[in-house]
């Protein structure tokens, strides 16, 4: 089961459905075995979700810091007082801002997909208990 995703880098939208299907499937004849494995699998994916969340937080902080530095530099270099709208326009027009925002978006996307897998494992546990 752990071979499904070795690292966050291996996790993509293209393999999400296959991973999801593999995680939630079980045989009625192997419910006891699945119950024993469920906690370990859940723990692994919960840990992976935590790593993904950490990545989101780090990239968000880097984006915020970059934005603050860009605004500060613009204020210092400007001979006129810049409005908040001027500073927003300056930040949003920077290619580096867009690149960093894209990294945040990608990290958030992976985090949300893994969070979905963790929720699916929670539902699998409930199904196993009912069976």
Q: What is the pLDDT along the chain (131 residues), one digit of tens a residue?
A: 445 566 777 788 888 888 888 888 887 778 888 888 888 889 988 999 999 999 999 999 999 999 999 999 999 999 999 999 999 999 999 999 999 999 999 999 999 999 999 999 999 888 888 87
Task: Annotate 94-109 with b (16+ C-beta within 10 A) or e (fewer).
Answer: eeebeebbebbeebbe
- The continuous run of DSSP H or E covering 124 comes out as helix 95-130
Cβ-based neighbours of 123, under 8 Å, separated by 6 or more = 24
- Cα 125 to Cα 99: distance, rounded to the nearest angstrom: 40
- pLDDT for 5 equals 60
pTM for the structure as a whole: 0.82
Asked if residue 29 lies in contact with residue 11, where contact means CB atoms within 8 angstroms, the answer is no
- pLDDT for 105 equals 97
- Cα 19 to Cα 92: distance, rounded to the nearest angstrom: 36
- pLDDT for 2 equals 46
- Cα 67 to Cα 6: distance, rounded to the nearest angstrom: 33
Cβ-based neighbours of 99, under 8 Å, separated by 6 or more = none
CB atoms under 10 Å from CB of 65, counted, come to 11
């Amino acid at each position: 089961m752990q071979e499904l995703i070795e690292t966050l880098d291996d996790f993509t939208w293209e393999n999400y459905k296959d991973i999801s299907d593999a995680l939630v499937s079980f045989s009625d004849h192997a419910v006891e075995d699945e119950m024993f494995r469920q906690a370990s699998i859940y723990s692994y994916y919960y840990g992976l979700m935590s790593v993904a969340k950490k990545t989101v937080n780090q990239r968000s902080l880097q984006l915020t810091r970059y934005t603050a530095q860009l605004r500060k530099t613009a204020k210092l270099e400007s001979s006129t007082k810049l409005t908040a709208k001027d500073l927003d326009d300056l930040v949003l027009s920077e290619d580096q801002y867009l690149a960093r925002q894209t990294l945040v978006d990608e990290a958030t996307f992976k985090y949300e997909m893994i969070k979905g897998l963790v929720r699916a494992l929670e539902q699998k546990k409930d199904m196993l208990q009912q069976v």
